[in-house]
Amino acid sequence: MLDFDAFFKELKDGVAEIAQKEEVNFIREASSDGAAFLNAVKADVKRWAKQYAEGKLSKEEFEFLVKGKKDLAKMDALTRAGLAAIRVERMRAAMIDLIITTAGKLI
Protein backbone atom coordinates (compact mmCIF):
# COMPACT_ATOMS: atom_id res chain seq x y z
CA MET A 1 0.00 0.00 0.00
CA LEU A 2 1.25 3.50 -0.83
CA ASP A 3 2.35 5.52 2.19
CA PHE A 4 1.24 8.87 0.81
CA ASP A 5 -0.16 9.91 4.20
CA ALA A 6 3.28 9.84 5.80
CA PHE A 7 4.75 11.60 2.78
CA PHE A 8 2.24 14.44 2.83
CA LYS A 9 2.29 14.82 6.61
CA GLU A 10 6.04 15.24 6.63
CA LEU A 11 5.75 17.60 3.67
CA LYS A 12 3.04 19.65 5.38
CA ASP A 13 5.10 20.04 8.56
CA GLY A 14 8.16 21.05 6.54
CA VAL A 15 6.20 23.61 4.49
CA ALA A 16 4.70 25.15 7.65
CA GLU A 17 8.17 25.45 9.15
CA ILE A 18 9.57 27.15 6.02
CA ALA A 19 6.60 29.54 5.79
CA GLN A 20 6.78 30.51 9.45
CA LYS A 21 10.51 31.23 9.27
CA GLU A 22 10.25 33.29 6.08
CA GLU A 23 7.19 35.22 7.26
CA VAL A 24 8.76 36.24 10.58
CA ASN A 25 11.93 37.41 8.81
CA PHE A 26 10.00 39.32 6.16
CA ILE A 27 7.74 41.21 8.57
CA ARG A 28 10.68 42.18 10.78
CA GLU A 29 12.84 43.37 7.86
CA ALA A 30 10.01 45.18 6.04
CA SER A 31 9.01 47.16 9.13
CA SER A 32 12.53 48.27 10.00
CA ASP A 33 13.41 49.12 6.37
CA GLY A 34 10.25 51.20 5.94
CA ALA A 35 10.90 53.22 9.09
CA ALA A 36 14.57 53.77 8.15
CA PHE A 37 13.60 55.02 4.66
CA LEU A 38 11.04 57.53 5.97
CA ASN A 39 13.46 58.84 8.61
CA ALA A 40 16.17 59.31 5.98
CA VAL A 41 13.77 61.20 3.66
CA LYS A 42 12.63 63.45 6.49
CA ALA A 43 16.20 64.30 7.52
CA ASP A 44 17.32 65.05 3.95
CA VAL A 45 14.32 67.22 3.04
CA LYS A 46 14.70 69.14 6.29
CA ARG A 47 18.38 69.82 5.53
CA TRP A 48 17.60 70.88 1.94
CA ALA A 49 14.83 73.21 3.12
CA LYS A 50 17.36 74.87 5.43
CA GLN A 51 19.92 75.17 2.60
CA TYR A 52 17.20 76.66 0.37
CA ALA A 53 16.34 79.21 3.07
CA GLU A 54 20.04 80.07 3.38
CA GLY A 55 20.38 80.53 -0.38
CA LYS A 56 22.72 77.54 -0.82
CA LEU A 57 20.14 75.80 -2.99
CA SER A 58 17.97 77.49 -5.62
CA LYS A 59 14.24 76.80 -5.79
CA GLU A 60 14.79 74.61 -8.90
CA GLU A 61 17.56 72.65 -7.20
CA PHE A 62 15.44 72.11 -4.08
CA GLU A 63 12.49 70.93 -6.18
CA PHE A 64 14.73 68.62 -8.22
CA LEU A 65 16.11 66.97 -5.08
CA VAL A 66 12.60 66.47 -3.66
CA LYS A 67 11.52 64.97 -7.01
CA GLY A 68 14.44 62.57 -6.60
CA LYS A 69 13.08 61.50 -3.21
CA LYS A 70 9.71 60.80 -4.84
CA ASP A 71 11.48 58.59 -7.38
CA LEU A 72 13.33 56.90 -4.54
CA ALA A 73 10.02 56.25 -2.76
CA LYS A 74 8.83 54.50 -5.93
CA MET A 75 12.07 52.49 -6.02
CA ASP A 76 11.64 51.63 -2.35
CA ALA A 77 8.14 50.27 -3.02
CA LEU A 78 9.41 48.31 -6.04
CA THR A 79 12.26 46.86 -3.99
CA ARG A 80 9.84 45.74 -1.27
CA ALA A 81 7.65 44.05 -3.87
CA GLY A 82 10.72 42.42 -5.37
CA LEU A 83 12.00 41.23 -2.01
CA ALA A 84 8.58 39.69 -1.29
CA ALA A 85 8.78 37.86 -4.63
CA ILE A 86 12.27 36.66 -3.70
CA ARG A 87 10.86 35.30 -0.44
CA VAL A 88 8.32 33.35 -2.45
CA GLU A 89 11.11 32.15 -4.71
CA ARG A 90 13.21 31.03 -1.71
CA MET A 91 10.21 29.18 -0.27
CA ARG A 92 9.62 27.52 -3.61
CA ALA A 93 13.26 26.38 -3.78
CA ALA A 94 13.12 25.15 -0.17
CA MET A 95 9.90 23.26 -0.93
CA ILE A 96 11.45 21.54 -3.93
CA ASP A 97 14.34 20.43 -1.70
CA LEU A 98 11.87 19.32 0.96
CA ILE A 99 9.83 17.27 -1.52
CA ILE A 100 12.90 15.55 -2.88
CA THR A 101 14.33 14.89 0.61
CA THR A 102 11.01 13.67 2.02
CA ALA A 103 10.34 11.41 -0.94
CA GLY A 104 13.88 10.09 -0.72
CA LYS A 105 13.38 9.08 2.92
CA LEU A 106 10.18 7.20 2.15
CA ILE A 107 11.51 5.27 -0.82
Partner 1 sequence: MDSRALKSLAALVIAALLAGCAAITGYDPTSYKTATDLKVEALILIEKAQDPPAQHTAAIESLRMKLRQALEYEKGKGERNRVSKELWSTLVNPNGGLLGGFLKKWETEKRSQSPAFLEGISKNVEDAFDRIIEMESHKVKD
| Positions in the binding site for partner 1 (CB under 8 A) | 1-4, 7, 40, 44, 48, 51, 56-58, 61, 64-72, 74-76, 78-79, 81-83, 85-86, 88-90, 92-93, 95-96, 99-100, 102-103, 106-107
Long-range contacts of 15-20 (CB under 8 A, 24+ apart): 15/95, 15/98, 18/91, 18/94, 18/95, 18/98, 19/91
* Closest CB 17 distance from partner 1, rounded Å: 17
* Closest CB 63 distance from partner 1, rounded Å: 8
